[in-house]
Structure formats: structure tokens, C-alpha cells
Amino acid sequence: MDTDITAAERRAPGGIPGERRTGRRFAVCCAALLLAGVSVVVGHRVADSDGITPVPQLLAFLPWLLVPVGLALLLSLLGRSWLGLLWGVLLLGLLAWYLQPYGKTGDPIGQPAAELRILTSNVEFGQATGALVAAVREEKPDLVFVQECDDACARTLRRDLAADYPHHRAVGGDGAAGSVILGRLPLTAADGVEASMGMPAAVADVDGTSVRLQLAHPMPPVPGQVGLWRAELGRLRAAVAADTRTPTVVAGDFNASQDHAAFRRILDAGVRDAARLAGSSRAPSWPARTTPAFGAQIDHVLVSEDFSARDARFLDLPGTDHRALLVDLTLYRVV
């Protein structure tokens, strides 16, 4: 049987072969599925809501939603779907808008009073403790915030770094529960935030100025724990908002990015993201095995408006799925 398609058949109305029509319908259906999935996530971003699983998990990777939208546009083009093309362009515009850094910027009011270097690191159940000790010795931060530091990790840090970091505040625990703040500077006790994992607090004496310190490590937004994750981020926000007059640093693994509404509410309470101030607002910190090519920035150093940030660097430490964050700050004093 002759199966060649004649020119007349190609020109005739409805003359597109059935296989080609089926292929185009399939392309349009795939595009619609991709666009619908992305629209759900972007819709929650527009509504300033984190929603329910899987929306919070996908919001962490909001920039990477450009990939399925780009694929959907290609499929819409192949399927000759003008509606799909319009839908995809609209989503691209929304994503481009929301990929802009969030939060306030600007120079502090006053005169520079002190320089402060801060390192925060999630050592993944203590596995990267040795690598952290080496990084601390090399970088010489003034304050170190350590998450997922179990009792063995805490003992190692106190033993190996005691000479340079005699001051510490800690919440003990096994696995991911333990956390430690180490300081070259004098630290006094303060009430931490109640949470499933340790979130200790302290007050540091920085050249005569009291600075509030709060370690952050809320529950991650895993399925079934999104409500707890949201509640613990809310407690961090309340801790920030409780005192907006004292210079403040909140550092750690927030298990949230700037694309999460619960994290943005912490920023709105009166702190700024030091990585953003230093020009690294989208540098990913997790998962370390795929950064910097792919990932999300969920490790942060947040500072009150008394600080400026000169530099922010993410360090790769063997043994952990998080990159450590090192920031150089300048504390300003109102005159």
C-alpha cells in the first residue's frame, strides 16, 4: 500500500495525518501538566503562602521552575498551542519578578564601631566536625554557630578550639538535636527559642556593645511536619520582633529560603540577610553535593539594621550536606 502523503492531502483542511495530530495533542497535554504544576507553586508565592506538601518543598527550588516552564513552552510551540505559549510567558514573567532578592537594604545609620566575622555550619549529625575545626582555624571567625552538633561533636569543639573560643552556649542532644554557639568574645546566657532541635541564644560583648545572638535550626518542611516547621519559624520571628533596639544576629540552618513566606516574615520583623547585602542572595547552600550548579540557599546569617555586610562566602566542608557560610560584618554605633 502506498503510504506517501500527497501535496493535496497536506494542503487540504484536516489533511494533517492522524499520527501528527496525536503527537501535537500529546505535546499540548504534557505542556499543560507542566504549566499547571508550576502555576500551583507560583500561585502560592503570589499569595504569600507556603501551602501544604509538596508546595513548601518546591518553593525552596523556585528558580529551577524555569526549567519545566521552558520545556512547556517548547512543547506548546510544537503543539501550536497559543494558549500554552501565553500561559508559559506569563509564568516566566512572574518567576523573573519573584527571583529578585527580597528584603531591605541600605547603609546603617551611625559610625562603624567594630568588625565581626561569623561562621555558621550544619555539620550533619556531627560528621563534619573535623572539617569545621579546620575551617575555624583557617578563617578565624569571632562567632561560630553549629547545627546538628551531637554530644561528641560538642566535646570535640570544646577540646580542640577551647584556647581560641573559651565561651560557648549549647543545647545538647543526639543526632540533629544538638547545637552550639562558640565565641572568641564574651557570651552571657539568654533564653533560646523552644524547638524540636536545639536553638540556643546568647548575648555577646562586641567592643562594649551588647549583641543578641540566636542560633536557628527549625524542623525541615518534610511531609507531615510542615505545620511544625512553620510554627518554629514563627517562634524565630517572634524572638526577632521582641527586641528591635538591640543589635541582633540570627544564624544557622533555617530550612527555608527567601521564597518561603514563613522566612520572609522573619525578614519583615527587622533583620536583613547578610548574603544578600554582600551580593550572594541566590548562592545555594544545600544540598552540598549538587551546589553550586543546583540547590537552594537555606543557611543564612540575618542581621539587624545596625550591621552592614562586606563579604559572604560559602565553604565546602567534607562530611556534610550543607555548605558553611562565612560573613564579614561591620557593626555601627549610633552617635
Q: What is the pLDDT of residue 141?
A: 98
Q: What is the pLDDT of residue 307?
A: 97
- Whether 106 is in a domain gets the answer no
Q: Which helix (H) or strand (E) holds 301?
A: strand 299-304
What DSSP character marks residue 286? B
- Whether 2 is in a domain gets the answer no
- Whether 163 is in a domain gets the answer yes
Residue 126 Rama label (left phi>0; alpha psi -120 to 50; beta): left
CB-based contact 103:131 (threshold 8 Å): no
What pLDDT, in 10s, does the model give residues 226-249? 999 999 999 999 999 999 999 999
What pLDDT, in 10s, does the model give residues 187-225? 999 999 999 999 999 999 999 999 999 999 999 999 999
CA gap 75, 70 in Å, rounded: 9
- The reply to whether 131 and 54 lie within a common domain is no
- The reply to whether 65 and 131 lie within a common domain is no
Looking at the structure of the chain, the number of domains it has is: 2
What pLDDT, in 10s, does the model give residues 241-288? 999 999 999 999 999 999 999 999 999 999 999 999 999 999 999 999
Question: Model-level pTM?
Answer: 0.92
- The reply to whether 53 and 123 lie within a common domain is no
Cell of 333: 554605633
CB-based contact 148:121 (threshold 8 Å): no
Alpha helices (H) along 144-303:
151-161, 226-241, 261-268, 274-277
Side chain identity at 1, as an amino acid letter? Answer: M
Domain that holds residue 302: 111-333
Which stretch of 14-23, 77-86, 96-105, 239-248 has the lowest confidence by average pLDDT?
Answer: 14-23
Helix, strand and coil content of the chain, in percent to the nearest 5, comes to 35, 25, 40
Q: Are strands 187-190 and 299-304 parallel, antiparallel or unpaired?
A: unpaired
